[in-house]
Amino acid sequence: MSTYTQILYQIVFSTKNREKTITESEQEKIYRYIWGILNNKKCHLYRIGGVEDHLHIITHVHPSVAVSQLIKDIKLASSDFIKTENILSDFNGWQDGYGAFTYSITAKDNLIEYVKNQKQHHKKVSFKDEYISLLNEHGVQFNEKYLF
């Protein structure tokens, strides 16, 4: 028997101390690099995007991949890539934690649009408010003092 899954995640993490170090001119290089990591791990990327201080990844996670290890690999490899390629001079790394939220496949198109529109979205909503909203939407209990 074959294994069939559809595990759709929205993964969210920020730069260290929410520093606004991801320049618009270098975003595509970073996103393409992260796409390569996902592809090598048999994950299907639907969309990646963000703003200066955080990013969102909409992806199917292959059942052989642990989400925590995937995110660790993305952060370590992309940090090394950024430093090696010297593309973000002020980049000090990624935050320690992350958010990973599952969705029904029927939410995929809305999630893709949400990530596409991050620049407009964050003209009205701060990252902190967005992140707290995601945690609440998914019923995740948290202590705000550990978020930021």
Mean per-residue pLDDT over the chain, rounded: 95
Could you tell me if residue 72 is inside a domain?
yes
Q: How many domains does the chain have?
A: 1
pLDDT (tens digit, 9 = 90+) per residue, 10-30? Answer: 999 999 999 999 999 999 999
Instruction: Report pLDDT for 18.
Output: 92
Q: What average pLDDT does this structure show over 47-61?
A: 97
Query: Would 21 be classed as within a structural domain?
Result: yes
For 77-123, the pLDDT digits (tens) are: 999 999 999 999 999 999 999 999 999 999 999 999 999 999 999 99
Could you say which DSSP state residue 146 is in? G
Instruction: Provide the residue range defining the domain that includes 15.
Output: 8-146
Q: What's the token pair of residue 34?
A: 């992260």
Q: Is the pLDDT of residue 148 over 90?
A: no
The vertex-147 CA angle with 142 and 148, nearest 5°, equals 160
Beta-carbon contacts of residue 107 (< 8 Å; ≥ 6 apart): 8
Q: Is 85 among the domain residues?
A: yes
Strands 54-60 and 44-51: antiparallel
Query: How far, in Å, CA of 24 to CA of 63, rounded?
Result: 33
Among 11, 29, 14, 38, residue whose Cα is nearest residue 83: 29
1: in domain: no
Please list, in sequence order, all residues whose beta carbon lies within 8 angstroms of the beta carbon of residue 18, skipping any fewer than 6 positions away.
Answer: 53, 54, 95, 127, 148
Q: What pTM, to 2 d.p., does this model score?
A: 0.94
CB-based contacts of 117, cutoff 8 Å, min separation 6: none
Has residue 120 been placed in a domain?
yes
What CATH number has the domain bearing residue 27? 3.30.70.1290
For residue 2, being part of any structural domain is answered with no
- Please say if the pLDDT value at position 76 is more than 80: yes
Q: What is the pLDDT of residue 109?
A: 98
Residue 134 lies in a domain: yes
Q: Is residue 30 part of a domain?
A: yes
